[in-house]
Structure 1
């Protein structure tokens, strides 16, 4: 575990997002090294609610502007936005892919927004297939030239992209979990009620396991998942975090003392994640 002395520099990365709002449920911690973690709570939370990490986002969308031509109302044709953060496919860079049907015109401004996080876009390409238009680019930290390994900064990248989606494509709010608070048209589904959580752990060779989690998206989820895993001394080596509309899908390569997880330890991790990701109850919500 690393020291907490660098917490200020890590936490400052989130404040490069140009417009922020306090997440009322959360304030959490830091992480160091290539998916090696140390966490420290920053404040107490309301009774009965699981902790979440600090992640700040607010889009700049005017309701009157967005709706003045009637183009951003509810429509069954609105595609599902997808944001993929891939730590596996390139050893030297973090690969980010964004898809929103054929509507990703102004989203190229995302590259400029990422530079404000202290990142470089080292290569990028746009391609079309049956699922739509894809913006795919590799990013590195500007100060080191290496891939991003800090989960707070990875979450800041994800929220910066979602912020741009909500700003330049207000119709995407009907398909995104953060559209509930910040969007022009909120999702039809209740994010915390209608979306089930699924957790699976598989052997991925003798030295590591593959953890797969699917749950309702929310700000800070990437950091929180890593914290829960690291709290029971399981190492997260690499992985991928996908935002698909209201869903968050995580795939992490994990190990325990350099080996794949035993079945009893898999059950402990599964139970811990299920408790953390449980649906809120009426009693919890009343506090």
Structure 2
């Protein structure tokens, strides 16, 4: 449709429309214009354009080093205490789009243009083709649409997905050091470690759910740590189960991951599901042991 590359903005004089491809940066509003979004119920068949009743969403293209300027989207200041540290969330979505990896980052309303984060992703050999900023309540969410720079395809390698996750978390710790109080990596690399540590045994929950005749949904919730995603993928592969797609969600100290899995093109039966759960539970809950001690 003709609207696929169009961004909508509202001013006191009414709704304005401009083509995203004509913008080199996120539009700035004059002091006399207020940013207003309308609860449209529109759904496009083309990727990159969607409106929701629940969210105020702005879509913009990103070329080169230009980043989404989230400062132009500031809403009313919340009444939260200045000492309140919001929950940092890093979500890697491999399900929603078959062509790109979507990375969502939120840290309350504290995130800026995130140019350094984009540069760090580019240094990994990735292409950030597009970005969106959405506001829900007092939380700004930035989405990056990522592909491999050399092939233009979505990221599938678990090691690279983990590098993406850790790179974003490292940047959070560097440019928002207060986030270290809410992140597992804050204990080693932050200015202040989390006050409360998670008990791995209590925090770990694993479940295999039905998801049609050809695949199952594996849900894992456990204490976050570096290398967790790679370790989980390896455990799944060791028992010959295939991971078709995944959603990797880091919420503060907790990792909440979902994997669509199958065995020889079919969903997991009850016996294989139990084997998978037992293996994951053992490896995720086991205490750290020095390999040399063997």
The aligned counterpart of 1:90 is 97
TM-score, normalised relative to structure 2: 0.69
The aligned counterpart of 1:200 is 207
Query: 1:243 offset after TM fit, Å?
Result: 0.4
The aligned counterpart of 1:125 is 132
- Which one has more relative contact order, counting CA pairs under 8 Å at least 6 apart? 1
* Number of residue pairs aligned between Structure 1 and Structure 2: 212
Q: Is the 8 A contact 2:200 2:285 kept in 1?
A: no
Residue 80, structure 1, aligned to residue 70, structure 2: no
Distance in 1 between residues matched to 2:201 and 2:190, nearest whole Å = 19
Using the TM superposition, name which of 108-117 and 167-176 deviates more: 108-117
Query: 1:216 offset after TM fit, Å?
Result: 0.4
Q: Is the 8 A contact 2:201 2:285 kept in 1?
A: no
Q: 1:257 aligns with which of 264, 271, 275?
A: 264
The superposition leaves residues 100-156 of structure 1 with CA deviations (integer Å, 9 ceiling, x where unpaired) of 000111633211110000000011011211250111010000000000011101111
- Name the CA shift for 1:226/1:193 in 2 (closer, same or farther; >3 Å): closer
Query: 1:196 offset after TM fit, Å?
Result: 1.3
The superposition leaves residues 196-248 of structure 1 with CA deviations (integer Å, 9 ceiling, x where unpaired) of 10001001000000000000000110111010001000000001000000000
Structure 2: 5+ residue stretches without partners: 1-81
Query: 1:280 offset after TM fit, Å?
Result: 2.4
Residue 111, structure 1, aligned to residue 118, structure 2: yes
- Name the CA shift for 1:176/1:106 in 2 (closer, same or farther; >3 Å): farther
SS where residue 83 of structure 1 aligns?
Answer: strand
Distance in 2 between residues matched to 1:144 and 1:201, nearest whole Å = 33
The aligned counterpart of 1:267 is 274
The aligned counterpart of 2:10 is none
SS where residue 277 of structure 1 aligns?
Answer: helix
The aligned counterpart of 2:173 is 166
CA RMSD of aligned residues (A): 2.0
Distance in 2 between residues matched to 1:110 and 1:278, nearest whole Å = 32
SS where residue 127 of structure 2 aligns?
Answer: strand
SS where residue 213 of structure 1 aligns?
Answer: strand
Q: Between Structure 1 and Structure 2, whose CA radius of gyration is higher?
A: 2
Distance in 1 between residues matched to 2:151 and 2:158, nearest whole Å = 16
The superposition leaves residues 24-58 of structure 1 with CA deviations (integer Å, 9 ceiling, x where unpaired) of xxxxxxxxxxxxxxxxxxxxxxxxxxxxxxxxxxx
The aligned counterpart of 2:227 is 220
TM-score, normalised relative to structure 1: 0.70
